[in-house]
Homo-oligomer: A and B are copies of this chain.
């Protein structure tokens, strides 16, 4: 029997939704989290930009699963969607694909007042966001992240960009979305390895400044992976952490750098592995966070026990924590140091790292001696 109660249980209800606000003055925006949001994209976007043309940037994998839902939803809400397809994977974050996307959006006659919708993971979000920032010197965009990584990290905060042959995310813009729709139902079709990679960024928020959240994750991570209400709670807590930092420091002149915990080592490894499937972004961040804690412990800044606890939790969910966990060849220590120096989080030659005095006690160390980093990497690279 199709009773009202059964019908209400089948469709996502308002009670499943968490809504957060990123407070940035006239650039403030909402993050909505919950199942079934892609099917509501049209109504939610039309409420902000009625009648707009919408360039939907997406990759083939995501398009196969979700593009039909989104296009239908947009059309039904009186919007005019045009899909712009890119190849899946980090290689699309390059100048050539950036040019293709911008040209396709121009061909779709996306004007000021229209918008760009990023439908996909972090690659699509970063690329589409930079294209929106540069198109006609800036049109609005909406993030519809479909990976865990994008939902808890890249879709929130306005960092957009592409990679250069000199390193990752070295070219881009700060360009805030006008809305983020994190459909948690979309995560059900993610490969486990990709989900796990995103989980590294979830754990990061605990390690930065929220020790109780890290302890909660140690107890509840299986439920987060399993897809219960704990998953929505973990995503909401992560987004709230990121939103709070971004509100305080939109352009990364101060506190925001804390979000780079694990990223300076991590980006160098990711670049060293050629931004390939050998090492996903979150896997690189997991190794980078474990390294940041080991480096902090080696410098006497935090207890060895905290570094061990970080490593144990990441390994328990199946994430890598050591350079030796990366399959295949990597640059030597000189090569890694060079990649670290090209990371954009540098200031006049001194290295900036996010180090930790303990779990939930990360801080920005602006004058890290490169020779100590080199010595640490030499030890790290030795076969265990």
Interface residues of A, Cβ cutoff 8 Å to B:
51, 95, 98-99, 102-103, 106-107, 109, 111-113, 130, 133-138, 159-161, 164-167, 170-174, 251, 341-342, 344, 346-348
A106 to B160, CA, bound (A): 18
Selected contact of A99 from candidates B95, B106, B135, CB within 8 Å: B95
The answer to whether B174 and A347 have CB atoms under 8 Å apart is no
The answer to whether B95 and A135 have CB atoms under 8 Å apart is no
A371 to B346, CA, bound (A): 55
The answer to whether B112 and A347 have CB atoms under 8 Å apart is yes
List chain B residues, Cβ under 8 A from A167: 106
The answer to whether A161 and B137 have CB atoms under 8 Å apart is yes
- 7 closest Cβ pairs, A-B complex: A106-B166, A95-B99, A136-B344, A137-B172, A134-B171, A102-B171, A111-B346
A188 to B111, CA, bound (A): 41
The answer to whether A135 and B170 have CB atoms under 8 Å apart is yes
The answer to whether A103 and B164 have CB atoms under 8 Å apart is yes
The answer to whether B170 and A136 have CB atoms under 8 Å apart is yes
List chain B residues, Cβ under 8 A from A102: 164, 170-171
A161 to B106, CA, bound (A): 15
Please judge, given known A-B contacts A135-B171, A137-B174, whether A106 and B342 are in contact too, CB under 8 Å. yes
A109 to B137, CA, bound (A): 26
Among A99, A138, A159, A173, max chain B CB count under 10 A is at A99
List chain B residues, Cβ under 8 A from A106: 164, 166-167, 170, 342
List chain B residues, Cβ under 8 A from A171: 102, 134-136
Q: Closest residue of chain B to A95, judged by CB?
A: B99
Q: Closest residue of chain B to A130, judged by CB?
A: B134
Given contacts A111-B348, A136-B170, 10 further A-B contacts (CB under 8 A): A106-B167, A106-B342, A111-B346, A113-B347, A134-B134, A135-B171, A136-B344, A137-B159, A137-B161, A137-B172
